């Protein structure tokens, strides 16, 4: 099945031969495709203007605003793919979890989930719960044409960490206490979150996503043995559910150098790599049959044009022998990044890799 055509025939066929999807399929490309995690967001003055006075979660539920924000970096930077503007906790909010995204803090959960009785609060997600997502994707795919639109969701472990901790955590002590202390409850929690996550991705794919990325932002806190035993089954379930659509599946986590092979094993077609591991070494750890995505340190963008180009050249050289490479940062765009630096970086990668 094509990488942009669902069984329902709702995927935009115009994106099939895009550089981004070709790289995901490990096919020859006219140039290395570029997109940036968090490219739609706080680094853009037009984003700040569009969202002025609108809380984060509310902004994720306004289809016309979501479409505008998603399109902004495509217009400004000339990137090879758009990424849907949302937040990983949106599906949790949609099923009734009492949470808010507090500026300068992140998602905060009013009542953490730590007991078996709490699982009842995690009901299944339906398309009707996120009708605004379907509407926004419709607006975007019409506007984007041949430019792919990437959908995304938070992976079960990272969602579980927010739910159990009650918000962001440095040490994940409550999360790990549950994982080690009540492994059956932990497995049931992650399985429930896998169902919610897969349902959220299905909505996006059926609405027009050309690819999807699963963000496991906090999973780098685990050892490979803990990941394999306590996380891999749930992440694999998500990827298996959406495999029928034939769209590329990207998996990314922060601080996951020791887990790269397992991230691919979970079912990803493309493994995202942060800046801590060179791409050639990452390819060795992941093994054959996977494309890689990454991996410029976002902080390098503050160092000036010459330094950015030097570090980018190192990444492109390390990627020279890869089966498929999507250029990205090793994590999201930092809020105070100069937007012009991203525009120049996109042009530099395109120029340097033109076939």
- Residues with a catalytic annotation lie at 38, 42, 51, 87, 162
- Max Cα-Cα span within the chain: 57
What does DSSP say about strands 99-102 and 325-326: parallel, antiparallel, or unpaired? Answer: unpaired
Q: If you ran DSSP here, which 8-state letter would residue 121 be given?
A: G
- Write out the two tokens for 159: 């969602």
Q: If you ran DSSP here, which 8-state letter would residue 278 be given?
A: -
Q: What is the rounded end-to-end Cα distance, in angstroms, of the chain?
A: 27
**Is 41 annotated as ligand-binding?**
yes
Instruction: Please name the residue ranges forming H helices in the chain.
Output: 19-24, 45-50, 56-59, 63-77, 90-94, 131-144, 156-165, 173-181, 183-207, 224-230, 232-242, 260-265, 279-286, 305-318, 339-353
Contact 292, 319 (CB under 8 A): yes
* Token pair 């996503």 in the structure block, residue: 209
**Is 170 annotated as ligand-binding?**
no
**Is 331 annotated as ligand-binding?**
yes
- Round to whole Å and give the CA distance between 5 and 11: 5
Residue 312 in 3-state DSSP? helix
**Is 293 annotated as ligand-binding?**
no
**Is 87 annotated as ligand-binding?**
yes
CB-CB neighbours of 324 under 10 Å:
22
**Is 40 annotated as ligand-binding?**
yes
**Is 217 annotated as ligand-binding?**
yes
Contact 301, 334 (CB under 8 A): yes
- Round to whole Å and give the CA distance between 25 and 18: 11
Q: Quick one: which of 36, 25, 37 has its CA closest to 1? A: 25
* Token pair 């990044």 in the structure block, residue: 337
CB-CB neighbours of 52 under 10 Å:
7
**Is 325 annotated as ligand-binding?**
no
Q: Quick one: which of 279, 257, 354 has its CA closest to 324? A: 279
**Is 162 annotated as ligand-binding?**
yes
Feature table: binding site for substrate: 38-42, 87, 162, 217, 331
């Amino acid at each position: 099945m094509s990488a942009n055509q669902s069984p329902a025939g709702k995927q935009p066929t115009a994106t099939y031969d895009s550089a981004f999807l070709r790289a995901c399929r490990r096919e020859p490309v006219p140039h290395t495709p570029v997109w940036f995690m968090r490219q739609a967001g706080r680094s853009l003055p037009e984003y700040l203007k569009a969202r002025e006075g609108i809380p984060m979660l509310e902004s994720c539920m306004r289809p016309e605003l979501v479409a505008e924000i998603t399109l902004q970096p495509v217009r400004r930077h000339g990137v090879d793919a758009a990424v849907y503007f949302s937040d990983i906790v949106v599906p949790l909010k949609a099923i009734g979890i009492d949470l808010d995204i507090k500026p300068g803090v992140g998602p905060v959960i009013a009542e953490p989930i730590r007991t078996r009785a709490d699982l009842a609060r995690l009901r299944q997600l339906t398309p009707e719960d996120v009708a605004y997502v379907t509407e926004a994707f419709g607006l975007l795919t019409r506007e984007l044409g041949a430019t792919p639109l990437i959908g995304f969701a938070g992976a079960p472990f990272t969602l579980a960490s927010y739910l159990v901790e009650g918000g962001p955590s440095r040490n994940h002590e409550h999360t790990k206490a549950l994982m080690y202390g009540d492994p059956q409850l932990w497995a049931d929690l992650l399985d429930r979150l896998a169902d919610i996550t897969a349902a959220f991705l299905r909505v996006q794919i059926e609405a027009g996503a050309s690819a999807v990325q699963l963000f496991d932002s906090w999973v780098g806190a685990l050892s490979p043995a803990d990941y394999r035993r306590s996380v891999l089954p749930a992440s694999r379930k998500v990827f298996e559910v959406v495999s029928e659509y034939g769209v590329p599946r990207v998996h990314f986590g922060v601080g996951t150098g020791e887990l790269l092979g397992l991230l691919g094993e979970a079912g990803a077609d493309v493994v995202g790599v942060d800046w801590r591991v060179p791409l050639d070494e990452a390819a060795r750890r992941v093994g054959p049959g996977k494309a890689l995505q990454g991996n410029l340190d976002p902080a390098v963008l503050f160092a000036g044009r010459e330094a950015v180009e030097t570090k980018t050249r190192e990444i492109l050289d390390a990627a020279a022998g890869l089966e498929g490479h999507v250029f990205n940062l090793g994590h999201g765009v930092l809020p105070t990044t100069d937007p012009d630096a991203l525009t120049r970086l996109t042009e530099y990668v395109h120029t340097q890799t033109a076939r």
